[in-house]
Chains A and B, each alone.
Chain A
Amino acid sequence: METTGYGWGFPPSLSTQSPAIDQLINVVHWFAAVLFVGWGLFLLYSLIRFRAKPGQRASYESAKSRLPKYLEIGVVLFEIFLLIGLSFPIWSKYKSEFPREQDSLVIRVVAQQFAWNIHYPGRDGVFGGTDPRFISDADPIGLNPDDPAGKDDIVSVGWLHFPVHKPVIAHITSKDVIHSFSIPVLRVKQDAVPGMVVPIWWEATQTGQYEIMCAQLCGVGHTLMRGFVSIDTPEEYEVWMKEQESYLETQPGGQL
């Protein structure tokens, strides 16, 4: 687990989308700061200059300047820029422009109180069918034992391994309550809603080991619902996969 790079300010920025998100947050804050400081100075100036003095009356007439109107128009124009210039494109890339499945690692994330189950399709690239009827302590996601596509599937609890510089498409769901799958260093966040499967994607730009958070209140063990990501080099990822496969062979019914 890496703890370096954490402190005040953004957490490390390790995905292809995180620089754009950070930039948007920075731009909005600079805009807000300029507005607030300018407006605040005007407020302070007015409070000092127009304090009550003996014998002096307030003016009945209102301030006449057109400046506020221009400033309001400026605020509107800048907000349009924030929307169309920055937010829409980032969101659209994150939500609609998925990489091709054959170029990506496709996984399923099945949340439960209070753990993250990561379902890999295995060598055949096909996920085995699942059904809640088959869920047991040994099989937290309920793989159908009769489905041949599921024989080589790998289920990892709490650890998400994936290679660096390769897009990952994750289908997020939950089997009990609403959780939220969040990897702060990748700027990835998606609610895991039971009854729904929502795909998201990301591509990491650096290796390392970091945390998965549950961002949505999910019950007594919410704080403990911590998982880990390991962003591996392709070689490390291959080694880990092999380990999982050899473990699978030792399991009853496991075959490759």
Chain B
Amino acid sequence: MSEDHGEHLGFLRRTVFSVDHKVIGLQYGLTGLVFLFFGFCLMMLMRWQLAYPGEPLPWIGGLFSETTMPGGMMLPEFYNSLGAMHGTIMVFLGVVPLAVGGFGNYLVPLQIGAPDMAFPKLNAASYWCYFVGGVVMLTSFFVPGGAANSGWTSYPPLSDIATTGQTVWLFGMVALITSSLLGSVNFIVTIVQLRAKGLTFFRLPFFVWAQFVTSFLLLLAFPPLEAAGVLQLMDRLAGTSFFLPSGLVVSGMPLPVSGGGNPILWQHLFWFLAHPEVYVLILPAMGIVTEIIVTNTRKPLYGYKTIVGASLFLGFMSFLVWAHHMFMTGMGTAISNFFQVTTMIISIPSVIILTVLVLTLWGGSIRYTVPMHFALAFLPMFAIGGLTGLPLGLAASDIHLHDTYYVIGHFHYVVAPGTLLALFAGVYHWYPKVTGRFMNETLGKIHFWGSFLCLNGVFFPMFIQGIAGASRRLHTPTMYAHAQGLQGTNVFMSYSAWILGLVQLLFVINFFWSLKKGRQAPENPWQATTLEWATPTPPPHGNFLKEPEVNRGPYEYSVPGEKEDFIPQNV
């Protein structure tokens, strides 16, 4: 059970080295937001290069060292570092820590009526592991040769022969994966063991289910990549050759390794993690969106058991689709058919979840709050992300689209216009619970429309580029004839990205301004039913004033014959 809840703890124990799940959740959330912003800035640098290849970066170009940007012009190795680090930072340091570490940590114990996570010290260890992993990742920019530059997928042999930054990257990854493992064990035990009296599994809010499935994905998918990371470290540092075949000749010189390895082994281990990882990003977002849509529609979730079943099935299937990332490695007919079939099957639970959420709106009384704007926008964005997965999941159409901008467009629609909008929805929705004040609605709406339009401006043209055959990861896209006619789209996308960056500043201003000046919020400002709203605002150490008891399902809205249009679970 939870640690000592006394208020006698010192400042550092209360705010920095705390074991309270809410403090750790906020630490995760804020660190994740900072990393997201940093990763976004790396992208803005890349987007300048893509819009104006061969031209020096105005103003900020001079801030960089001569080894990365001589005369303000971006070198290819720095571009490759930006690409690899942008991917890693956004996924492993930004979205996952925010969705699981931030929202999960803060909300799961509250929503199940627990005073804390099952293992509070393990929880703190998980955050600090993440923090150290993140710092290690960032220091890699300062090692000789620069940060990792073999793509966020780090395919060997390129990553085995890359500069020191890759070693630092691997150390960082091992720390980050360890953090996820510690966290996932904690979530699973907490949800199984610490539910309030009367809170059966089928009375859990969908957000808790989503975190539960996510935790199993983290628990089962990350160890293979952790093992792979250690093997790659050994290849780099101890002269092994798990991923290096015999007879490699690099820059005209034979590579002094024992050989006998296979670079494709890395891809299997990597994608065995990285496909479930996609659902680690999406499921918590779906959980957040579900809570917000139900609360603001004022009616029960359409098909609660259906959506729970679909998310369990989604989690299970996510382990059986990894090789659809590897159709171009030389895969034969039978095995590719297997992975095409599983990939089509995994689209079905996603369709079901979207259907459930849309049908929930039917017959509702929809309130258009700022979080509701973001949550509703998640639906079409995730739909575009999902639908554009189809031609990539079919091996035959993947021949043309693989490794083009189409792929980047597809997964960004899932995680950027999709998941990130959901995470913003969550920030606006639970901010009053966490701080006792509302965020400013007008700024919130400008932030929403700016983000919504600009995200589409950045990512939709990627589909057009991909269909035209424009390859990803090119430092100078205009090098190829078929990409030259598309250069206008690159300029348009870059302007969208920079405006998107400016719009995010509104969010940052709103976030801090509202801490002091925001309108005061009562305990249950949205008139919601789940248990987190039954605590004082902000919830104290130990969460509940008296142990809650649950009497009903999570979404009892507009029950006929009742005076209020909501009945909290604990009433």
Q: Does B256 contact A (CB under 8 A)?
A: no
A21-B252 CB under 8 A given contacts A11-B469, A223-B474: no
Contact of A148 with B by CB under 8 A: no
CB-CB under 8 A for A191 and B328, given A21-B396, A35-B387:
yes
A118 to B355, CA, bound (A): 52
Residue of B with least CB distance to A137: B252
Interface residues on A, range: 35 or more
- Chain A residues closer than 8 Å to B565, beta-carbon distance: 57-58
A176 within 8 A of partner (CB): yes
Interface string of A120-162 (1 = CB under 8 A from B): 0000000000011101110000100000000000000000000
Kindly state whether residue A24 has any CB partner on chain B within 8 Å.
Answer: yes
Point out the residues of chain A lying under 8 angstroms from B150, CB to CB. Answer: 217
Known: A217-B158, A220-B76. A57 touches B558 (CB 8 A): yes
A240 CB within 8 Å of chain B: no
Residues on the A chain within 8 Å of B158, using CB:
177-178, 217-219
Closest residue to A86 on the B side, CB-wise? B396
Known: A59-B363, A215-B403. A193 touches B330 (CB 8 A): yes
Count of A-B contacts judged by CB separation below 8 Å: 296
Q: Select A52's contact among B262, B354, B367, B401, beta carbons within 8 Å.
A: B367
Is A52 a contact of B365 with CB atoms below 8 Å?
A: yes
Task: Say whether A191 contacts B365, CB under 8 Å.
Answer: no
Task: Knowing A10-B467, A132-B247, say if A194 contacts B157 (CB, 8 Å).
Answer: yes
- Contacts A52-B367, A63-B302, A87-B397 given; indicate if A36 touches B480 (C-beta within 8 A): no
A88–B157 Cα distance when bound, in Å, is 31
User: Cβ of B250: which chain A residues have Cβ within 8 Å of it?
Assistant: 113, 176-177
Within 214-238 of A, Cβ neighbours of B (below 8 Å) are at: 214-224, 226
B481 touches A47 (CB 8 A): no
Per the bound structure, the CA–CA distance linking A8 and B484 in Å amounts to 10
Residue with the greatest number of chain A CB neighbours at <10 A, chosen from B155, B336, B481: B481
Tell me whether B361 and A213 are in contact (CB under 8 A). Answer: no
* Of A74-82, A99-107, A241-249, the one with at least 4 CB within 8 A of chain B: A74-82
Beta-carbon contact of A63 and B363 below 8 Å: yes
Tell me how far the C-beta of A33 lies from the nearest C-beta in chain B, rounded to whole angstroms: 8
* CB-based contact A177/B157 at 8 Å: yes
CA distance A215 to B157 in the complex (A): 16
> How far is B297's CA from A194's CA once the two chains are assembled, in angstroms?
56
For residue B456, CB closer than 8 A to chain A, the reply is: no
Q: Please determine whether B390 and A32 come into contact, CB atoms closer than 8 angstroms.
A: yes
Docked complex Cα distance between A75 and B161 (Å): 46
Query: A87 near B340 (CB under 8 angstroms)?
Result: yes
Cα(A46)–Cα(B333), bound, Å: 44
Query: Which residues of the other chain, A, contact B402 by a CB distance below 8 angstroms?
Result: 180, 189, 215
In contact, B467 and A182 (Cβ under 8 angstroms):
no
Which partner residue on chain B sits nearest A46 by CB separation?
B361
- With A62-B303, A91-B336, A135-B252 known to touch, is A47 a contact of B376 (CB < 8 Å)? yes
Q: Tell me the B74-99 residues at the A interface (CB within 8 Å).
A: 76-77, 80, 83
CA–CA, A189 to B351, complex, Å?
31
A1-42: contact bitstring with B at CB < 8 Å (1 yes, 0 no)? 111001111110000000011101100110110011001101
The chain B residue sitting closest to A76, CB to CB, is B348
4 further A-B contacts with Cβ under 8 Å, apart from A21-B396, A31-B390, A46-B364, are A47-B361, A72-B348, A91-B340, A222-B475
Which residues of A does B touch, CB under 8 Å? 1-3, 6-11, 20-22, 24-25, 28-29, 31-32, 35-36, 39-40, 42-43, 46-47, 50-53, 56-63, 68, 71-72, 75-76, 79-80, 82-83, 86-88, 90-92, 94-96, 112-113, 131-133, 135-137, 142, 172, 175-178, 180, 182, 184, 187-191, 193-196, 198, 210-211, 213-224, 226
Q: Which 8 residue pairs are nearest across A and B when measured between Cβ atoms?
A: A195-B245, A198-B330, A184-B469, A90-B396, A215-B403, A32-B387, A58-B299, A59-B363
